[in-house]
């Protein structure tokens, strides 16, 4: 089989063709898709119409009573959501992270020039267009209109508009990656046609 990595806008990023590489060594991000191309020559399409496949369903009550299930294993070994200490610790970490983001976001003002520094990416300059909570992901986010078409959107995500800008000039980043300052607009020599 061949594996291909597609970004959130369904563009081919690269082929995952090294048998020795771990998945973490590739630039897989939230929303990316790994496409598998079957080269075995087996007949495909037999089960593509899922309405023709008989499904076995088990109610939560019946599943809870089973002793040979994954849920029973997790409960017995106090793992995952059945580990109250771990869940409380995770919840406390999330609350701490949210509080830190809230503190950072209070210093960010719409209309302020900024630089965005994300590890592994080049520094991008732009203007803060939005600062606050969003519907697309939890936590606080900063909407930035970049000086050049280096973003992912036009200020809207999943049909909700947070700010207005040209397509591919907008992006949402976490507040810890935003540095405010007097940054003159730079021309990177990129076309608006990207």
CATH number of the domain where residue 121 is located? 2.30.30.190
Which residues, 6+ apart, have CB-to-CB distance to 163 below 8 Å? Answer: 129, 130, 143, 145, 155, 170
Radius of gyration of the chain (CA): 23
Percent of the chain with pLDDT over 70: 92
Long-range contact set of residues 162-168: C-beta below 8 Å, sequence gap at least 24: 162/129, 162/130, 162/134, 163/129, 163/130, 164/129, 165/129, 166/192, 168/194
Residue ending a domain, choose from 51, 73, 90: 51
Establish if 189 belongs to a structural domain. Answer: no
What are the tokens at 166? 């040209």
**pLDDT score at 191:** 54
CA dist., res. 109 & res. 131, Å (int):
7
Say whether both 14 and 69 belong to one domain.
no
* Confidence band, pLDDT 50/70/90 cuts, at residue 174: very high
Q: Which of 73-87, 102-116, 158-172 has the lowest mean pLDDT?
A: 73-87
CA dist., res. 177 & res. 114, Å (int):
10
pLDDT digits (tens, 9 = 90+) for 33-65: 999 988 876 666 666 777 777 888 889 999 999
Domain that includes residue 145, residue range = 113-180
**pLDDT score at 9:** 85
Percent of the chain with pLDDT over 90: 56
Task: Please list the residues that pair with 99 across neighbouring strands.
Answer: none
Establish if 157 belongs to a structural domain. Answer: yes
Q: Is the pTM of this model over 0.75?
A: no
Say whether both 17 and 45 belong to one domain.
yes
Pairing of strands 2-6, 33-37: antiparallel
Select the more confidently predicted residue: 109 or 27.
109
What are the tokens at 10? 């369904």
Say whether both 127 and 94 belong to one domain.
no
Task: Please list the residues that pair with 170 across neighbouring strands.
Answer: 145, 153
Distance of alpha carbon 95 from the chain centroid: 20
Q: Report which listed range, 3-7, 27-31, 82-86, 152-156, is most confident.
A: 152-156
Which residues, 6+ apart, have CB-to-CB distance to 96 below 8 Å? Answer: none
Say whether both 23 and 76 belong to one domain.
no
Say whether both 138 and 166 belong to one domain.
yes
Residue 143 has pLDDT above 90, yes or no: yes
Select the more confidently predicted residue: 108 or 56.
108
**pLDDT score at 44:** 61
> What's the domain count of the chain?
3
Residue 164 has pLDDT above 50, yes or no: yes
Residue 105 has pLDDT above 90, yes or no: yes
What are the tokens at 45? 């399409």
Closest CA to 171 of 129, 132, 111: 129
């Amino acid at each position: 089989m061949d594996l291909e990595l597609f970004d959130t806008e369904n563009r081919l990023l690269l082929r995952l063709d090294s048998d020795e590489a771990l998945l973490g060594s590739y630039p897989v991000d939230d929303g990316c898709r790994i496409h598998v191309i079957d080269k075995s020559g087996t007949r495909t399409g037999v089960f593509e119409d899922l309405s023709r496949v008989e499904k076995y369903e088990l109610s939560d009550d019946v599943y809870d009573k089973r002793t040979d299930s994954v849920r029973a294993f997790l409960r017995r070994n106090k793992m995952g959501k059945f580990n109250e200490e771990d869940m409380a610790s995770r919840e406390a970490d999330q609350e701490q992270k949210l509080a830190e983001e809230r503190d950072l976001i209070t210093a960010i003002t719409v209309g302020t020039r900024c630089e965005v520094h994300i590890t592994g990416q080049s520094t991008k300059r732009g203007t803060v267009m939005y600062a606050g909570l969003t519907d697309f992901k939890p936590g606080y986010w900063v909407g930035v209109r970049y000086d050049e078409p280096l973003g992912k959107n036009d200020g809207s995500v999943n049909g909700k508009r947070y700010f207005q800008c040209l397509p591919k000039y907008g992006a949402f980043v976490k507040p810890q990656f935003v540095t405010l300052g007097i940054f003159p607009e730079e021309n990177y020599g990129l076309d608006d046609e990207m």
